[in-house]
Structure 1
Amino acid sequence: MDSPYSKELHVAIGAIQSAAKISQSVISAEDKGTIKKDDLSPVTVADFAIQALLTATIHHAFPADKFVGEESAADLRDSQTLRDRVWDLLRRLEEDEKQSLCKLPESPDQMCEMIDWCGFGEPGGPGAGRVWVFDPIDGTKTFVQREAYAINVALLEASKQVLSIVGCPTLPVDAEAPVSNTTVDPSGQGCIAFAAKGYGTYVRTLTESLGSTQVRKIEPLPETAMPQDLRAVSCYHMLDSGVDDAHQAIMERLGISSRGCDFLAWVLRWVSLGLGLANMTVWVYKRRDRGGNVWDHAGAMLLFEEIGGKITDIDGKDIDLSVGRKLTSNHGFVAAPRAIHAMVLQTVHEVLQAQGRVHLLA
């Protein structure tokens, strides 16, 4: 892809390739160094190591840029054993790493400092400048089960998505729907999906092939999409934050009989949409005060938008990435081809009203 972000893309792809080596070394281990955070979600030594790697590499290339990421280094500062394990992962990567683009922290203290740059970072508003957003492992719950996960890297400018790079170690570059948490790439190569604002969405292998790496541009969605063309991606009975019976009723009312693609990780749901493996998703939270995390959606949504998809919340509002680490200005998600997004959104409202859940609408 020839875009103004060629250097950023080159650096980010190299960093994700190195990050995937870390993740694959941990996913194959019996002890993944898993702990539970305050919100009861899991985090592993791979999450910390990858966030440090991504930050160090991109900071070296773009020293003026800022960062937001899911993890902070508090647990590493509290546990010398955990901190040593994360540092050891990075040191082992350094011994094997031959790519000059990959940069690592110079010490355990700097490692913790760089992780905290992300853990305390904010996307900021229109005057925030360039901010990189990382989810080092999206889908940690499935990762610890040796199933699907993604490494999400996004670049925001003035709080708007301009670049998305997502590493998907378990997803084949030529994947066909339906795909799910248990999908395995038989080649072991995985894929990287990437997009730049105004330049389309592309996919390539995650690992370098023996020959030249093939890059494929994803075909745009038809401008005259019809309801019968809808193909869903969702998360079936894996999270307690959504209204499963509403999601099912919405699919039935839209005439969608197949469960389609099924992923726990939000980033992989956006990847499925961006690669054309699905073309719609709906998510309604059980409460209005529940919302998404910026690292689960920033950048990855661009993959779908760049092929002609439209994404709003269930109130029809654009997703606001400027408000902070939590997407507090929005409730849920509705994504569909632009031509029929309004119809899908109306269906969501009709189902929630019929189910007596008007309180979930604005």
Structure 2
Amino acid sequence: MSTFGADLALALRLADAADAITLSRFRARDLRVERKPDRTPVTDADVAVEDAVRDLLAAQRPDDAILGEERGGSAGPGRTWVLDPIDGTKNFLRGVPVWGTLVALVVDGQPQVGLCSAPALGRRWWAAAGEGAWTSDPLAEPRKISVSGVSDLADAYLTTTDLGAWTEYHSREAYLRLADACWESRAFGDFWSHCLVAEGVMDVAAEAIVNPWDVAFAQILVTEAGGRFTDLTGTPDYAAGSALSTNGVLHEEALRLLAR
């Protein structure tokens, strides 16, 4: 077993517990929705998942810190579990099946284990340092994944989350420069964009605004798949506030076009 093999096994158990809650509340007629101070929605399922995962971590890793979207915390030195109980809450509450639970283990500021479970899609993606990146789906055994070999943006498939976020947080013009340089662009959004880059389906995923819990898993997943993950300035830091995942070959050109 690798250095983080036991932690990855625990992350998979955490995902099992999360999936049992989220699937039971997905499309539930009595789903309760509130607004947080930043006007983003939170459901009773978001809170229930984070509480359940925190309870399991308290029992299994009592000395580790926890940073979660709903209950807060901080990622200091040492070991920190970074949690997003439901990434894609807007999809979840509208009945769109593209949402997932995100779990990452960060050690001294560097993600070492990352997992995304998207049970309504029947998909999971995970990675641990030195162990590569993997995925599973209902039709096949778990398989190792890698980024694409596309070497020219003119042949590249680009994805983001929301065009409006570029206007508010970075530059709409910069994103459109990148989109115009690529073969096709889509808005698959949130966690899925980075997972699709890791498995070689998409070539570039860019987000103007992210939180640490949105992309801690993506940094280790994409890099273990052979790609590159940074913020929009080229800094490899999941907590920097923006995100760019690529197959590596296209990264510098994408950064150049996204510069303000």
Q: Are the aligned partners of 1:273 and 1:303 in contact in 2 as well (CA < 8 Å)?
A: no
Specify the alignment match of 1:18 in structure 2: 17
TM-score (normalised: structure 1): 0.65
1:344 is the counterpart of 2:241: no
Q: Which has the larger radius of gyration?
A: 1
- State which of 90, 103, 125 in structure 2 corresponds to 1:193: 125
Q: Answer yes or no: is the 8 Å Cα contact 1:238–1:264 preserved in 2.
A: no
Question: What's the CA shift string for 1:133-163, capped at 9, x where partnerless?
Answer: 0000011111100111110000011110100
CA distance in 1, matches of 2:206, 2:13: 33
> 2:219 maps to which residue?
301
> C-alpha distance in 2, partners of 1:241/1:23?
31
Partner amino acid for 2:230? T
Shift of residue 52, structure 1, vs aligned partner: 1.0
The secondary structure found in structure 1 opposite 2:136 is: strand
> Paired residue for 1:246?
174
Task: Flag the 1:123–1:331 CA change in 2: closer, same or farther, 3 A.
Answer: closer
- Matched residues, percent identical? 26
State the alpha-carbon separation in 1 of the partners of residues 193 and 128 from structure 2: 18
Residue deviations 1:78-117 (CA, integer Å, cap 9, x gap): xxxxxxxxxxxxxxxxxxxxxxxxxxxxxxxxxxxxxxxx
Shift of 1:50: 0.4
Q: 1:3 to 1:241 in 2, by over 3 A?
A: farther
In the alignment, what sits opposite 1:179? none
TM-score after normalising by structure 2: 0.89
Indicate conservation of the 8 Å contact 2:127/2:133, yes or no.
yes
Q: Deviations over 1:176-205 (max 9, x none)?
A: xxxxxxxxxxxxxx1110001122100124
Q: Which has the higher strand share?
A: 2
2:160 counterpart (234, 241, 244): 234
How do 1:1-362 residues align onto structure 2 when only pairs under 5 Å count?
2-72=1-71, 119=72, 121-124=73-76, 128-147=77-96, 148-171=98-121, 190-205=122-137, 214-222=141-149, 225-237=151-163, 239=165, 241-242=168-169, 243-252=171-180, 254=181, 256-260=182-186, 262-265=187-190, 267-284=191-208, 291-319=209-237, 321=238, 327=239, 330=240, 332-349=242-259, 352=260
Partner of 1:297, secondary structure, is helix
Q: Is the 8 A contact 1:152 1:300 kept in 2?
A: no
- Give yes or no for contact 1:37–1:43 (8 Å, CA) kept in 2: yes
What secondary structure sits across from 2:16 in the alignment? Answer: helix
Deviation at 1:220, TM superposition (A): 4.6
Q: Is the 8 A contact 1:236 1:244 kept in 2?
A: no
Distance in 2 (alpha carbons) for counterparts of 1:311 and 1:164: 13
The CA distance in 1 between the partners of 2:23 and 2:75, in whole Å, is 29
Aligned residue identity for 1:248: L
Distance in 2, Cα, partners of 1:331 & 1:159? 15
Partner amino acid, structure 1, of 2:141 = Q
Helix, strand or coil: the match of 1:347? helix
**RMSD of aligned alpha carbons:** 2.3
Deviation of residue 11 (structure 1)? 2.0
1:179-236 superposed Cα distances (whole Å, 9 cap, x missing partner): xxxxxxxxxxx11100011221001248xx9xxx8210003543x8333442112124
Q: How many pairs align?
A: 257
